[in-house]
Amino acid sequence: MSKVRVVIENITPRVDCGRFPIKRTTGETVIVEADVFTDGHDVVAAMMMYRHDTAAEWHKTPMKPIGNDRFRAQLTVQQLGSYLYSVCGWVDHLESWRRGLRKKYEAGQDLTLDLKTGALLAEAMAERAHGLDAQRLREWAAAITDSRRDIEERVALSQTDSIRELEYRYPDPETVLNWDSPLEVEADRERARYSTWYEMFPRSAASEPGKHGTFADVEKLLPYVASMGFDVLYLPPIHPIGMTERKGPNNNPTASKSDPGSPWAIGGAAGGHKAIHPELGTLDDFRHLISKAGERGIEIAMDIAFQSTPDHPYVREHPEWFLKRPDGSIQYAENPPKKYQDIYPFHFESDAGEALSKELRGVIEYWISQGVRIFRVDNPHTKPFPFWEGLIREIRRLRPDVIFLAEAFTRPKVMYRLAKLGFTQSYNYFPWRNSKRELIEYFTELSQPPVSDFFRPNLWPNTPDILPEYLQFGGRSGFMIRLVLAATLGASYGIYGPPFELMEARPREPGGEEYLNSEKYEIRYWNRDDPTSLREFIARVNRIRRENAPLQSDRGLKFHSVDNDNLLAYSKTREEDADSVLVVANVDPHHAQSGWLQLDLESLGLPVNGPFQVHDLLSGARFLWQGPRNYVSLDPGHSPAHIFRIRRRVRSEKDFDYFL
């Protein structure tokens, strides 16, 4: 029978029994816990081990008992890429003996034989130790059995902490249990966790109406984007657009000659996924844009839409990458009874699937070689999961700084699966979560393990596909409240502009969510200097995010109760920051709402009875609050939200230099 008596259960964090990695960004910690116990009364020791997967050596950290047989230790990820972590444990005979000896000593029992037992254990450990450690153990064994010393001294000696440390270093390997197989952390760079996105159609970037915008025009708009505080500029596909079955304005099935078509209809005479739409500029122009954006701290995110028009070179060169219909024609995309005859989906489930996957991975590698590090992936849920899992693993093995945002507006388990298998960030149901109750339910789910360990939401109040009803009818304050919610509930969020900041609210048809005269099908000219623009409000909110670290993480979200169903209150707190952020938002865009806020002071690190200052970073106002119950009132005509910075402690006369 094995001499292993210890048991390890329920290691956390863990996703799907360890099938998938958890996610962190560099500098973030992983708090590892496990149940470690044995039969009887013996003391167990538990150790957490971790290493970067490129390192050979494991770091080992003793785990601390936190009650109920649970142990805890933590690691901080420092380096991009993959870390492994695991737990081992053993019955610690020497420590069990030390605890027993202490109790026997306190009960006044004879200890002569017991001290000898301890010495034998230490000598056995010395056999496994080296050099000085072995010597220390032998000296210690000799000392506690040295009959010239009095018993008090020997007992005191037996309890020294230095021995505890050696116990962790030299357990009997025959008794050590290692957790089945190591778990994994994917370590991303900071922008994977905290990012502020602006989406725009480059073809609408021209400085005068009626012209096709270019990368050079986008460059001119970089100060505009930067002034609002965005750090990711996401461009819809920049590739040649197909002519066959091209869609006209407002998704008209027939296009006129001058209609530019949808950028997602990829592939034309000028090339496919590695080519650039000629009217936007050249590859050099694109690289220049990337570089200029970089100078302003802005990264260009590229759209990856793995599908082809009938005009895509792949159709001629690799007809085996598409599904054939019985008449030999290529199967276009459909979701019966809807047909998308301008789009040919790729067919992975064939013998050519391997070569197709390799080609598509090559597309991403190509754009990486041009300097792109962020990819927003269009409809990843319509391609096989194993394709993405393999692609992302391969790319990140070489370039762990690459970020993939999944645009999978689909069923919850599919959305989560894509995040588990490697997508860095994910679009989610935020556009359709508007009421207080919906927001609390959804963000409670997202902010708790296991979801929070693998799913990083990126919150979009609007996209070119989604003009939510709330924005159609909420007016200016509707836009403001959705911006505040996105920017403070999510460490990553984005807007599709200029329609957002210019509060474009007209749908193509009543009850629909498509924009009227959508940029998806036509070039628009925008008056970015419109004095009613939300530009400055957005800039203020993004500055608040930049200056308040708790808003840069999805951890530490806590809802507080307000006795009004239209007032939503939540805080964000991080252990390492002195200040918390408290948001109170009126989700009713039309009426003033007020109520009593009941704060969970403990979660905010605030004294239960003392006063504390709250500082509204939106309005600049400061209030002195006391205790958990405080009155709040928000008029959407004025400002639909407070974003309070909470100082954990207010100075009193006792802090005054001469008070004592």
CB of 8 to its own copies, least distance (A): 11
Secondary structure string (H, E, C) spanning 619-659: CCCEEEEECCEEEEEECCCCCCEEEEEECCCCCCHHHCCCC
Applying CB under 8 A, does 113 fall inside the site for its own copies?
A: yes
Applying CB under 8 A, does 76 fall inside the site for its own copies?
A: no
CB of 508 to its own copies, least distance (A): 21
**Dist. CA 400–CA 321, nearest whole Å:** 29
Question: Which stretch, 31-39, 194-202, 307-315, 564-572, contacts its own copies (CB under 8 A)?
Answer: 31-39
CB of 67 to its own copies, least distance (A): 10
C-beta of residue 644 within 8 angstroms of C-beta of residue 582 = yes
C-beta of residue 528 within 8 angstroms of C-beta of residue 536 = no
Applying CB under 8 A, does 17 fall inside the site for its own copies?
A: yes
50: part of which helix (H) or strand (E)?
strand 44-52
Binding to its own copies (CB under 8 A) within 533-552 occurs at none
Residue from 59, 64, 116, 622 binding its own copies (CB under 8 A) = 116
CB of 571 to its own copies, least distance (A): 29
**Which residue's CB is nearer to its own copies, number 325 or number 591?**
325
Binding to its own copies (CB under 8 A) within 335-364 occurs at 335-337, 348-350, 353-354, 357
Strand ranges inside 382-505, DSSP E: 403-407, 425-426, 458-459, 492-496
C-beta of residue 119 within 8 angstroms of C-beta of residue 142 = yes
CB of 304 to its own copies, least distance (A): 15
Picking from 45, 51, 48, the residue whose alpha carbon sits closest to that of residue 91 is 45
Applying CB under 8 A, does 412 fall inside the site for its own copies?
A: yes
From residue 219 to residue 248, what is the string marking binding to its own copies with x (rule CB under 8 A)?
------------------------------
Picking from 383, 18, 63, 24, the residue whose alpha carbon sits closest to that of residue 190 is 24
Applying CB under 8 A, does 3 fall inside the site for its own copies?
A: yes
Question: Which stretch, 115-123, 435-443, 607-615, 631-639, contacts its own copies (CB under 8 A)?
Answer: 115-123
The three-state secondary structure class of 618 is coil
Picking from 46, 20, 50, 16, the residue whose alpha carbon sits closest to that of residue 34 is 46
Applying CB under 8 A, does 120 fall inside the site for its own copies?
A: yes
Which residues are CB-neighbours of 244 under 8 A, at least 6 positions away? Answer: 309, 310, 311, 342
Residue from 57, 110, 327, 575 binding its own copies (CB under 8 A) = 327
Residue from 59, 64, 130, 325 binding its own copies (CB under 8 A) = 325
With 0-12 / 13-18 / 19 or more C-beta atoms within 10 angstroms meaning exposed / middle / buried, residue 529 is exposed
Residue from 26, 58, 61, 99 binding its own copies (CB under 8 A) = 99
CB of 335 to its own copies, least distance (A): 5
| AA letter at 654 | K
Residue from 63, 80, 94, 101 binding its own copies (CB under 8 A) = 101
From residue 158 to residue 187, what is the string marking binding to its own copies with x (rule CB under 8 A)?
-----------------x------------
Catalytic residues: 378, 407
Applying CB under 8 A, does 384 fall inside the site for its own copies?
A: yes
| AA letter at 336 | P
Number of residues that bind its own copies (CB under 8 A): 59
**Which residue's CB is nearer to its own copies, number 101 or number 402?**
101
CB of 35 to its own copies, least distance (A): 5
DSSP line for 85-97: EEEEEEE-HHHHH
CB of 172 to its own copies, least distance (A): 10
Applying CB under 8 A, does 110 fall inside the site for its own copies?
A: no
Picking from 436, 357, 384, the residue whose alpha carbon sits closest to that of residue 597 is 436
Residue from 54, 57, 68, 181 binding its own copies (CB under 8 A) = 68
| AA letter at 217 | D
Number of Cβ within 10 Å of residue 642's Cβ equals 24
**Dist. CA 9–CA 301, nearest whole Å:** 42
C-beta of residue 525 within 8 angstroms of C-beta of residue 210 = yes
Secondary structure string (H, E, C) spanning 304-335: ECCEECCCCHHHHHCHHHCCECCCCCECCEEE
Report the interface residues with its own copies, using CB under 8 A.
1-5, 7, 9-10, 16-18, 35, 37-41, 68-69, 91, 99-101, 103-104, 106-107, 109, 113, 116-117, 120, 175, 325-327, 334-337, 348-350, 353-354, 357, 381-387, 390, 411-414, 417
